[in-house]
Amino acid sequence: MTEHVVVRPEHGPTGTIHDFLDQHRPATPCLVIDLAVVEMRYRELLAAWPHSRICYAVKANPAPEILRLLVGLGAEFDVASPAEIQLCLAAGADGGRLSYGNTIKKATDIAFAYARGVRRFTTDSVGDLHVIADHAPGAWVCCRLLVQPAGSPTPFGRKFGCDAAMAVELLRGAAELGLRPAGVAFHVGSQQIDPGAWAEGIAQAALIGRQLAACAITLPELNLGGGFPVRYRTEVPTPIEYATAIRRALGNQFAAPPVTVIEPGRAIVAEAGVLRSEVVLVSRKSAGDPYRWVYLDVGRYGGLAETEGEAITYALATRHDGQPGGPVVLAGPTCDGDDVIYQRSDYRLPLALAAGDHVDFLGAGAYTASYSSISFNGFAPLPTYCLAAETHADT
């Protein structure tokens, strides 16, 4: 249903997305991905994590062109459903490069994955562990640890993971069931702004490792999850700063650290994308209202799901930038009262902004198209245009 078009613009290495938007004037809303930026971000993470496995979290943006690019670059993939497995296989990955990271899966999902060569599964419960043992005999199993560090605007809460004592039991149980204990996995919450947020999970993983070593089980890997942030309206630490802080924590806790796996989603694709929208209406609620309401043709259901609670605050761009501005409330086009994008995050837009103007959401390559609903109020899912990476001479 979602439209995927690979475009090879005539223009050079800078401003590719805007050249495309200027030349092709696609209907809005739409997401445009610059594959060269995806490649750059992947290589940057690789440089920061030279001895780690990089497992792209497919849910961040499952566009086939992105998956194909990452397959070519040697990435592995974190998948959460049979459909994500299919997408990765179609993009050229084999099952051995996929890790089924979702702890919530049906027996049929596990069997589907196993039949296609998937041999790595994450669990956090005895119920799921037994289903894995039944339908994926001999597979590697990671146990997800419940961690709740501060610093993420979109925390996982208590939905995933178990405590350290249960993790020990599950990994020991995995061995007894003929599965292969791989290690501990945890996720510190997406857009994690604190490089120190991994320390607690690493300490717990080391403790779990010591307890299992006492029963002759060694854990070859440690899955550090995703959470690496990107710049939206404010700067964030660099990938190197994260890798340094995490390596220090590993050195403090392990005599010989296990192989690390990282599962970046946002950090690989967010900055590669611009979501272009159009102003449908500008209005005020009363004659003296200082706030203009700016209604766009995209909102919470069209791809801006992460603006719920104003958790993610995108940087915006319009053709009037630099001219006098004023405070706005930004809202989406549907008949849902919750379809308000920003009303508390101090957004200002140019006073000249009018119906028909474009508003571009920058850094919108992650968790947008994959979150857009199929037809709430009749609005179509967000189409994605991927601009070919090979137009960039220097990457």
Ligand X SMILES: *Cc1c(COP(=O)(O)O)cnc(C)c1O
Task: Tell me how far, at minimum, the Cβ of 32 lies from ligand X, in Å.
Answer: 20
162 phi and psi angles, rounded to 5 deg: -135, 175
Q: Which token pair is 188?
A: 């510190």
Task: Tell me how far, at minimum, the Cβ of 43 lies from ligand X, in Å.
Answer: 17
In the complex with ligand X, the residue whose CB is nearer, 38 or 340, is 38
For the segment 187-206, give every residue that binds ligand X (CB under 6 A).
Answer: 187, 190
Reply yes or no on whether 335 is catalytic: yes
Residue 161 interacts with ligand X (CB under 6 A)? Answer: no
In the complex with ligand X, the residue whose CB is nearer, 142 or 349, is 142
For the segment 260-279, give every residue that binds ligand X (CB under 6 A).
Answer: 263-267
Count CB atoms within 10 A of the CB of residue 115.
Answer: 12
Residue 59 interacts with ligand X (CB under 6 A)? Answer: yes
CA gap 255, 243 in Å, rounded = 18
* Number of residues in contact with ligand X under rule CB under 6 A: 16
Q: Which of 227, 333, 365, 381 binds ligand X (CB under 6 A)?
A: 227
Residue 365 interacts with ligand X (CB under 6 A)? Answer: no
Task: Tell me how far, at minimum, the Cβ of 269 lies from ligand X, in Å.
Answer: 9
Q: Which stretch binds ligand X (CB under 6 A): 34-42, 90-98, 113-121, 258-266?
A: 258-266
CA gap 171, 213 in Å, rounded = 11
| 145 contacts 167 by C-beta, under 8 angstroms | yes
- Would you give the DSSP letter of residue 381? P
Residue 228 interacts with ligand X (CB under 6 A)? Answer: yes
Residue 225 interacts with ligand X (CB under 6 A)? Answer: yes
Task: Tell me how far, at minimum, the Cβ of 115 lies from ligand X, in Å.
Answer: 22
CA gap 219, 49 in Å, rounded = 20
Residue 297 interacts with ligand X (CB under 6 A)? Answer: no
- Residue of 55, 142, 335, 386 marked catalytic: 335
Residue 363 interacts with ligand X (CB under 6 A)? Answer: no
Residues of 78-88 as b/e, b for ≥16 C-beta within 10 angstroms? bbbbbebbebb
Q: Which token pair is 17?
A: 């997305």
Q: Which stretch binds ligand X (CB under 6 A): 6-14, 32-40, 53-61, 291-299?
A: 53-61
Residue 101 interacts with ligand X (CB under 6 A)? Answer: yes
Give every CB contact of residue 25 below 8 A, 6+ residues apart in sequence.
none
Give every CB contact of residue 244 below 8 A, 6+ residues apart in sequence.
195
Active site positions, annotated: 335
Q: Which residues here bind ligand X, judged by CB under 6 A?
A: 57, 59-60, 78, 101, 187, 190, 225-228, 263-267
